[in-house]
Structure 1
């Protein structure tokens, strides 16, 4: 009388798993190495971060973009779901580190920032250097007065002037 060797089936494919070199155990379950994969991109998940939701496995990137992720807010800059702090500006949501100057990439969380005519965001230094209109009289940038969010300027004959510089 011969007996069949006992085996544990793979949770994913139900096939027999023979030998430790072709298997891995995760969450108390046994998988073939080739079956322990992201349900979206088929990337192997062994030795990396993964998520299990309703029996489906996800690599970290696809979990962030999946309906299984508990957050519905996506970052307007990078496109990933926002799991923690949401920074909102101009009707868009951002990770705090993604809300940054388009020139120097400095984070603008809690900092003074400026917009150009196409709503691109700048730190004060880069706005002054690249975007702010220059006064035709004093040759300095025309910026909002301290404590104000509104820039006051006079435009005459296609030239920009500070209100005090226009004569």
Structure 2
């Protein structure tokens, strides 16, 4: 076997070689950049050519809803306004609590309102 591991720079001997991010790794060397958990045989995310486990990705890179402060799931639709992210169900009129997602709204006293409730 030829080549060197992208992390430890040691040669490959008997055993498996993991290929990810256009590099070759020992399975024990392919780790999450933050928590150092093993990523071999797991799904992972990439930012700036660095791998991250799903939990670390969500915690550090997924947007948080400005209303409920929860992480917005990568599969979930959300909206943004003034650089803030919101679950569609959390961006609501301060008076009637109906969703304002995709609708016209007004701002009053730092709150969002339906035009009828300003």
In the superposition, the TM-score normalised over structure 2's length comes to 0.56
Higher relative contact order (CA 8 A, sep 6+): 2
Gaps of 5+ in 1: 1-5, 100-107, 111-147, 151-167
Partner of 2:110: none
Partner of 1:15: 10
Give 1:80 shift.
1.8
Call closer, same or farther: CA 1:27–1:81 in 2, change over 3 Å: same
> Which residue of 20, 28, 50 maps to 1:26?
20
Across the two proteins, how many residue pairs are aligned to each other? 98
Structure 1 segments, 4+ long, off by >6 Å, are none
RMSD of aligned residue pairs (Cα, Å):
3.9
Spell out the pairing of 1:1-167 with structure 2 (5 A cutoff).
6-21=1-16, 23-66=17-60, 69=61, 73-76=63-66, 77=68, 79-81=70-72, 84-86=77-79, 93-96=85-88, 99=90
Contact persistence 2:31–2:39 (CA under 8 A): yes
Gaps of 5+ in 2: 91-98, 102-115
| Residue-by-residue CA offset, 1:76-131 (whole Å, 9 max, x unaligned) | 4353256542277xxx743236x4xxxxxxxx787xxxxxxxxxxxxxxxxxxxxx
Contact persistence 1:82–1:94 (CA under 8 A): no
* Structure label with greater radius of gyration: 1
Call closer, same or farther: CA 1:7–1:96 in 2, change over 3 Å: same
In the superposition, the TM-score normalised over structure 1's length comes to 0.42
